[in-house]
Amino acid sequence: MKSKKRNSFVPKVLILLVLLDLIATSIWFNYYGIGEANPFMSSFLEKSTLNFAITKICLSLPSIWLLNKFQNKVLARFGLVFLTIIYTMVAFIHYFVFVNL
């Protein structure tokens, strides 16, 4: 039985999008007073930007790694594509907010 080759492009893009969201949210909060839309993550951001960053990285990176590891499973591939679409939309929102600030 052959093992399918994993595609590493989507997880790399997803990691970049998560980091973009982290940076943009931190800038919005610290310089413009705009809070985090996610109520769970908002509580960490209100405590400190470092606390928010550590929590976001600790939740995101292992999840992406796990989805990437099991990329040969349909559900994991769906999860990677779904999260990439969501974070791409978030990136567009960040872009439009930055352009209009």
> What is the per-residue pLDDT for 100?
85
* pTM reported for the whole predicted model: 0.87
Residue 7 phi/psi, 5-degree rounding, is: -90, 120
> What is the per-residue pLDDT for 4?
60
List the chain pLDDT tens, one digit each, 101 residues.
Answer: 455 666 889 999 999 999 999 999 999 999 989 889 899 999 999 999 999 999 999 999 999 999 999 999 999 999 999 999 999 999 999 899 888 87
Residue whose C-alpha is closest to residue 60's, from 44, 74, 47: 44
Residue with tokens 């800038």: 27
